[in-house]
Amino acid sequence: MTDAAVGPSAIAGSAGSAGSAGYSRVAVDETALTDPLLDPAIYAGDPYPLYARLRAEAPVARNDTLGLWMVSRHDEVVAVSRDPETFCSSKGIMTFEIGAEYPTPPTMMHTDPPDHTRYRTLVQPGFRPSYMRALEPGIRRRARALVDRIEPGVPVDVVADLAVPLPLQVISDLLGVPEEQWPTFFRWSEAVIPGATDWPEDERARLSGDMVTYLLAAAADRRASPRDDIISELAAAEVEGDQLTDAQLGMFLVQLLVAGNETTRNMMSGGLVGFADHPGQWEALAGRSDGGVNRALPLAVEEMLRWTTPVVAFMRTTTRDVELGGRVLGAGEPVLMLYASANRDEDAFGPTAASFIAARDPNPHVAFGFGAHFCIGAVLARVEGRILLEELLTRFGSVEPAGEVIRAASPVIAGVKSAPVVFGAR
C-alpha cells in the first residue's frame, strides 16, 4: 500500500486533532481504530469484531495513515454505491491505487458513467440471464463430476476439490479454451489479487503479464475468426455502430477471468464453511424440497454471498464536498466501502446479522455491490452456487467441520485457502 496525499478534509481524524471550520472533534481515535484494517494479516483471522466497533463508534471513520475514509454501515455503503457522480471509480477502486493516474482505465470497474454505461451496454448481452441459464447443463455436469468424488464420512477440502475447479472450468467453457487450461487460469488469477499468495513480486508480475498477453491475443483472434464462445460474442457486440476495441475487450476478459472465478470460488467455500459451522442449517435446507424442487436454494445462495462477502471492500473518490453519515467529506478524498461490515450490519439484517441463516429473507446484501457497478456476473455466480448445492444435497444429509479453515491475508478478496469438512450420507 502507498501513502496518500491528504485532502482538504484531513481534519476530522483522531480524538487529539483539532477540527477545521465546519468540523468538530470526535470522541474516538479513528486512525487508531481503523489502522488494523490496513494490515492484511487481520483478514486471515476475524475482522468482524472490529467491524462491529466501527459501526457502533465511527461508522464513517477517518484514517490519517492513508488519508481515506472508511464506511462500515449498510446505509452509507449503499449511499456511496448509488451516487457515482459524487463518488467516482476512475481514481482507483483499491487502496494501493490512491494517487494513481491511469491513461486508460485498467478495468471496467475503474470507469464512471457515461463511459461505464457504454462498456456495460456492450458487454451485457454476453451475460443476459437466458444465456447464463443455457450454461446450466454444462455446469451441472461438471459439478456432478466433482461431487461424485466425495465420500461420506471422509474429510474433504472443499476449496481444492470443489470451489477452485468448478468456476474455472465454467470460465474455460465460456472463453472457449481447452479444459486443461484452468490450472493456469488459477495461477494467473491468484497472482493479481493482493494478499492471495506469498509468491515473489517478480513471479506475480510475470504471471499477470502472461495473462494479459494471452487474453489480448484471444480477443484479436476472435475478431479474425469468431467461434461459439463469449469472447466472440463480446467482440461482435455492437450498439448504434459502437464496438469494444481489442484493448477494451482484453481488459474486460481480464476482469472476467479474475473476478469471475475469485468471487464465485470464495462464495462457495466460505458458504459451505458457514453451513458446517452452524449446526442444523444444512439439514433444514435438505428438508425443504417441494416435489423434488428445493425452493429455498436461492435463499441459501444469497446467504452464502452475504456471509462470505467475497469482495471485502472497494474504494471510491469524492468529486465534491459531501455529507455522509453526519460527516463532511471534502472533494478528492478516497472512501473505502467495507462491504464485509455492511453485510453484518444489525440495522439491515436484524439481531441475527452475525449468524448464518440459510433461509434468511429478506436479504439485502451488497456482496455484488450496488448501483451502476452491480456485478455483471451475478446471474452466473448464483446459477453455479445453486447447482453445486443441489448436487451436494442430493448425496449428503449433513456437513460438519473437519479441521482448521485457512484464510488469505487479503484486504480485497475474502479468500479461503483451505476448508476441511465432512459430509454425511443422506
- Full DSSP string of 84-112: TTTEESTT-SSGGGTT---SS-SSGGG--
- Residue pointed to by grid coordinates 466425495: 150
Q: What's the mean pLDDT in 35-49?
A: 97
Q: CA torsion angle for 172, 259, 97, 327 (degrees, to 10)?
A: 170
Is residue 387 one of the residues assigned to a domain?
A: yes
pLDDT at 14: 31
Cα separation, 423 vs 251, in Å, equals: 40
Cα separation, 222 vs 282, in Å, equals: 44
Number of H helices, E strands in the chain: 17, 14
Q: What's the mean pLDDT in 179-192?
A: 89
Write the pLDDT tens digit of every residue in 394-421. 999 999 999 999 999 999 999 999 999 9
Q: CA torsion angle for 390, 396, 398, 403 (degrees, to 10)?
A: -100
The rounded mean pLDDT for the chain is 89
Sequence letter at residue 51:
Y
pLDDT at 246: 81
Q: Is the model's pLDDT at 77 over the cut of 50?
A: yes
Q: Is the model's pLDDT at 11 over the cut of 60?
A: no
pLDDT at 289: 61
Cα separation, 172 vs 165, in Å, equals: 10
Question: In the structure grid, which three cell numbers stand for residue 281, read together?
Answer: 442449517
Q: Is the model's pLDDT at 3 over the cut of 60?
A: no
Q: Is the model's pLDDT at 292 over the cut of 70?
A: no
Is residue 6 one of the residues assigned to a domain?
A: no
Is residue 138 one of the residues assigned to a domain?
A: yes
Question: In the structure grid, which three cell numbers stand for residue 349, read together?
Answer: 439484517
Expressed as residue numbers, the domain containing 401 is 30-425
pLDDT at 244: 87
Q: What's the mean pLDDT in 147-159?
A: 98
Closest CA to 326 of 57, 133, 33: 57
Maximum alpha-carbon separation in the chain: 66
Is residue 2 one of the residues assigned to a domain?
A: no
Sequence letter at residue 19:
G
pLDDT at 26: 52
- Residue pointed to by grid coordinates 485532502: 7
Q: Is the model's pLDDT at 15 over the cut of 60?
A: no
Sequence letter at residue 330:
G
Is residue 237 one of the residues assigned to a domain?
A: yes
Write the pLDDT tens digit of every residue in 217-232. 888 888 889 988 888 8
pLDDT at 295: 79
Q: Is the model's pLDDT at 43 over the cut of 70?
A: yes
Q: Which range among 171-180, 306-315, 412-421 shows the weakest confidence by mean pLDDT?
A: 171-180
Name the residue with higher pLDDT: 40 or 10: 40
- pLDDT band at residue 293 using 50, 70 and 90 as cut-offs: low
pLDDT at 8: 27
pLDDT at 58: 98
Q: Which range among 1-5, 158-162, 203-207, 282-286 shows the weakest confidence by mean pLDDT?
A: 1-5
Sequence letter at residue 376:
I
Q: What's the mean pLDDT in 126-141?
A: 86
Q: Which range among 129-143, 150-164, 315-329 shows the weakest confidence by mean pLDDT?
A: 129-143
The count of structural domains within the chain is 1
Is residue 333 one of the residues assigned to a domain?
A: yes
Is residue 165 one of the residues assigned to a domain?
A: yes
Percent of the chain with pLDDT over 70: 93
Cα separation, 345 vs 14, in Å, equals: 24
Is residue 209 one of the residues assigned to a domain?
A: yes
Indicate left, alpha or beta for 292 from its phi (over 0: left) and psi (-120 to 50: alpha): left
Question: In the structure grid, which three cell numbers stand for residue 174, read together?
Answer: 465460456
Write the pLDDT tens digit of every residue in 231-273. 888 888 888 888 888 888 888 888 888 888 889 999 999 999 9
Cα separation, 307 vs 305, in Å, equals: 6
pLDDT at 12: 30
User: Hey, CA dihedral for 227, 233, 239, 242, is it positive or negative?
Assistant: negative
Model confidence, pTM? 0.89
- Strand 68-71 vs strand 334-338: parallel, antiparallel, or unpaired? parallel
Q: Is the model's pLDDT at 20 over the cut of 50?
A: no
CATH number, domain of 146, equals 1.10.630.10
